[in-house]
Every structure is written in C-alpha cells, then in structure tokens.
C-alpha cells in the first residue's frame, strides 16, 4: 500500500474530481451485455452509424503509402489549416486565415485546449444547460467555475442572449455555445448570436462557439449568423469544430480551433508538450474531407432528417412522453418525468432498467444537468429505431400499469 492510502489516495484532487461521462458509462454497460450475447439496441453513443466515405479513406491510405507518417507541426498540417479556413469561408462566409487555425485530436481536445489557454482559477464560464458534460469538466480542469443557465422545454430549449446576459458578471471569462445542441438539438438564432457577440465586446468575455453538428441542421440553408458575429466580436469569437460527425470520422480524431493568432499559438504550445500532433495520415484524410466533394454531407443531413421525422413522431405518440423536435444533430431529448415514481425515482433508474429488461440503451438526463429526461441518439438504422421505440413504449407502459 502506498503512503498516500492506496492507489486512489495517490491521485491528485483534479483527477479525483473528474466525473465519468454518462454516455460512456451507458455505452460500456451496453457493450458488456452484447458480449454476453444479448441483442442491445444502443442509442447512447453519439456517432454516425455510416462508414467514413471511401474517398476520405483512400486519401489516408495514399498518405500512408507515400510515407506521410512523421510528425507534423503542433498546430497541424499547413494544408489542413488552410482547408479548414476555406471550408468556413465557403459554408459560413466567415474569414479566418490559416494562421488563425489550430488542429486538435478531435473536438474534445480542441475545447480542452481553448479552456486551458483562456481560463484561470476562479474565472466563470457560462454554459447553457441541458449541456454536454465535457463542457463543464473542461472548465473545472482549467480551474474555472461553470455557471449553468437553464434552457427550458417550454421554449424548445432555445438559448437566448437575454438569459445569458443575466448570468454575466465581472468574473465571466467565456460563454460556451453549442449549436445545434447536444443533447436537445436546439439552434441558437442568428439574432441572439449577434446580440451575444455585441455583449462579448462590451463586457469583455470570449464566445466559445462549438459547431460540431452545424452541417447536420434541418432548417432551410441560409445565414447562420457566424459572419456577423465574427465582424462584431472579432477576437472574442472562437470556433471549436470537428470532422467527427459531419464526415463520419469519429475515430480519426480530427478537430480544430479557429480564433485569434495569440490563442491559436497558445493552443499549439500546449499540444507541443502533450500530444505533439494528431495522426498525420488522419490529417491528410481530413484535407480530403474538407476540400473534396460535399454531397456526402448533404446526403448525411438528409438521412438524419428522415430519421428525425420518424422517431420524433413515434416517440411523441408514447403516452406520458414529451419531446421537442430537434433542429439539428441526431438526438431526441425525451421528457420522462411522468413515469417517475417511488419504484423508479430517477431517469438513472429508468435507464438502467430499460437496458437490463428491454435491451435499449439511452443516456439519462442527469448527466446533462437535466434529471427527468433521457437522450436518444437516432444515428442508428431505421429498423433499430422502430424496434427501439416499440420497446421503450412497452417498458414505460409497464411502469404506468
């Protein structure tokens, strides 16, 4: 035994304070049951069920055969930094130079790096909730304090500048916006984004704009508001992005940060002393993803719209369940409060029993700061969605009987 009281006693306070992602925990239990031979319908993990498009895979293979296997600069391949900047110019009409782009090992590391570079101990970071749990954990790991602002189902979980403004104090260092939202699918309106950009300049905080699901929106294509926000906020707007969802590249681990050069350089310095760079062949694959044909992205978004329309209608028809229609991404956020009781007092209990008894994995809302709710990923084949909704309805019906 160590003099610190065993293995756990030797951990730093920082490590001991980290909470395991409920998404990961549920996925791990689902995987265990699968190994035991159970048929599990896993709607917990947020990643596309489609394979990475073949032209992207071919670019990675070509890079490997060409011997492109050595380190890249800590900020990423120059070709990839340029491709990221060009993609945002074409899709959002917003201008960043390649020098204002840093490549990261996925969107999670991009967010972590931005928080490490911006947030000091005691700083406050405002986070609309329900929220992806990594947002709060990244802030805590940087020594900051997450300040949660509640978005409500009655307002379709919309995040507004007015609600954010009420939470801003002299200690606010940043506001994290995730649009479309994980887990609700809500989109920040362009007018609210512009108002927040003006507020950021006036009250001296940074907007960390996470657009992981931006290319998987279900509204009419048009102005996102990012250009106007960039013009007003200037260096106080930082974009966190990833190839993971848009190009079905979750395991390739390519993300990025777009922002002022001083921040990008700081993030690259952190990378140089931690991971050095993302895998070189994966960076070349991302160059192809961003500069190659984009019809695969449009087809993916249309497929998720089709699934959204089916599963939202089906879930909304289940007695005692309400659900806001998501505007983007591939999640439904189910209100299960009508099914809570002494027997199942929490959605953690509902999620556990649903998995064990019906073989259906959802993520309980407690992990998103929203007890009484559960997240369902519809990035699964239609036959699984049909079967899964039927099992959920059967299980919840049993609770009410």
**CATH number of the domain within which 204 lies:** 3.40.640.10
Beta-bridge mates of residue 67: none
Last residue of a domain, one of 291, 319, 336: 291
Name which of 370, 336, 374, 324 is nearest 155 in CA terms: 324
Give residue 17's pLDDT. 86
Measure CA of the first residue to CA of the last residue in the chain; give whole Å.
52
The tens digit of pLDDT for each residue in 252-285 reads 999 999 999 999 999 999 999 999 999 999 999 9
Proportion of the chain above pLDDT 70, given as a percent: 97
The tens digit of pLDDT for each residue in 22-35 reads 777 788 888 899 99
116 and 130 co-located in one domain: yes
Last residue of a domain, one of 263, 291, 319: 291
Last residue of a domain, one of 258, 291, 324: 291
278 and 300 co-located in one domain: no
Q: Is residue 58 part of a domain?
A: no
The b-or-e profile of 2-31 (16+ CB within 10 A means b, else e) is: eeeeeeeeeeeeeeeeeeebbbebbbebbe
Q: Which two tokens stand for residue 236?
A: 């106080």
Give residue 7's pLDDT. 59
Q: Given the structure tokens 């999640």, which residue do they identify?
A: 331
| pLDDT, mean of residues 336-352 | 95
The tens digit of pLDDT for each residue in 207-255 reads 999 999 999 999 865 567 999 999 999 999 999 999 999 999 999 999 9
**CATH number of the domain within which 322 lies:** 3.90.1150.10
Question: What global pTM score does this model have?
Answer: 0.95
234 and 175 co-located in one domain: yes
| pLDDT, mean of residues 290-305 | 97
CB of 253 closer than 8 Å to CB of 129: no
257 and 124 co-located in one domain: yes
Quick check: 3 pLDDT over 60? no
Helices 382-400/295-316 angle, 10° precision: 20
266 and 136 co-located in one domain: yes
Q: Is residue 307 part of a domain?
A: yes
Range of the domain at 333: 8-51+296-400
The tens digit of pLDDT for each residue in 59-82 reads 999 999 999 999 999 999 999 999
104 and 173 co-located in one domain: yes
Q: Is residue 64 part of a domain?
A: no
Count of the separate structural domains present in the chain: 2
The tens digit of pLDDT for each residue in 36-53 reads 999 999 999 889 999 999
CB of 137 closer than 8 Å to CB of 234: no
Q: Is residue 62 part of a domain?
A: no
Give residue 1's pLDDT. 34
136 and 240 co-located in one domain: yes
Q: Is residue 60 part of a domain?
A: no
Q: Please provide the average confidence, as pLDDT, over all residues in the chain.
A: 95
């Amino acid at each position: 035994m160590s003099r610190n009281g065993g293995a756990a006693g030797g951990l730093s306070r920082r490590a001991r304070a980290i909470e395991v992602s409920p998404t990961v925990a549920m996925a791990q239990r689902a995987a265990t049951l699968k190994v035991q031979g159970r048929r599990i319908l896993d709607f917990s993990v947020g990643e596309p069920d489609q394979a990475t498009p073949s032209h992207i895979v071919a670019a990675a293979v070509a890079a490997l055969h060409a011997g492109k296997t050595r380190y890249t600069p800590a900020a990423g391949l120059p070709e990839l930094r340029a491709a990221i900047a060009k993609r945002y110019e074409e899709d959002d009409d917003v201008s960043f130079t390649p020098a204002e782009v840093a490549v990261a090992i996925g969107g999670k590391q991009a967010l972590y790096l931005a928080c490490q570079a911006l947030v000091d101990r005691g700083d406050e970071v405002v986070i609309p909730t329900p929220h992806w749990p990594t947002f709060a954990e990244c802030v805590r790991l940087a020594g900051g304090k997450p300040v949660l602002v509640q978005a409500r189902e009655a307002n379709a979980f919309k995040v507004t500048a007015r609600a954010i403004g009420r939470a801003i104090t002299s200690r606010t260092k940043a506001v994290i916006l995730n649009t479309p939202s994980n887990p609700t699918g809500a989109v920040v309106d362009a007018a609210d984004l512009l108002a927040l950009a003006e507020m950021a300049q006036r009250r001296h905080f940074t907007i960390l704009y996470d657009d992981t699901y931006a290319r998987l929106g279900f509204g009419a294509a048009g102005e996102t508001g990012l250009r106007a926000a960039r013009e007003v906020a200037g260096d106080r707007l930082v974009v966190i992005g990833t190839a993971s969802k848009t190009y079905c590249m979750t395991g390739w681990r390519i993300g990025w940060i777009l922002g002022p050069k001083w921040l990008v350089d700081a993030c690259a310095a952190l990378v140089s002393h931690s991971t050095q760079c993302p895998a070189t062949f994966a960076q070349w694959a991302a160059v192809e993803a961003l500069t190659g044909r984009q019809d695969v992205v449009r087809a993916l978004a249309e497929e998720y719209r089709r699934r959204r329309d089916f599963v939202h209608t089906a879930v909304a028809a289940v007695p005692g369940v309400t659900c806001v229609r998501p505007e983007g991404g591939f999640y439904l956020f189910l209100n299960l409060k009508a099914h809570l009781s002494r027997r199942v007092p929490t959605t953690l209990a509902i999620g556990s029993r649903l998995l064990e008894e019906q073989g259906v994995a959802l993520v309980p809302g407690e992990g998103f700061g929203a007890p009484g709710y559960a997240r369902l990923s519809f990035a699964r084949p239609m036959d699984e969605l049909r079967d899964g909704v039927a099992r959920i309805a059967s299980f919840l019906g049993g609770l009410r009987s």
